[in-house]
Amino acid sequence: MRLDADVIEWLRKDGRGYQTEANRILRYAMCVDEFRREREGKAALHRKIPVGNGISVRKSVKNGKSRRRA
């Protein structure tokens, strides 16, 4: 994965763990996107999946789509 130098600098501002932080940010964006997509076609059955920082995702057992829950 290639990131701009200023993005890496921003992630590194808090020191160690910047790659984990980048993963957390991208996971959050992924969950928001999946939540938006699921709203377009709702699923009947869900299971809750924790993603960190008090956020969880309800993952559809039926069709694999996810929904962000705060």
Q: How far is it, in rounded angstroms, from Cα 26 to Cα 12?
A: 16
Flag whether pLDDT at 52 surpasses 50. yes
Q: How many domains does the chain have?
A: 1
The pTM for the full model equals 0.53
Q: What pLDDT digit, counting tens, does each position of 6-44 carry?
A: 999 999 999 999 999 999 999 999 999 998 888 877 654
Three-class DSSP category at 62: coil
Contacts of residue 25, defined as CB under 8 A and 6 or more positions apart, other chains included, come to: none
Domain ranges, residue 50: 5-69
Neighbours of 34 (CB within 10 A): 19
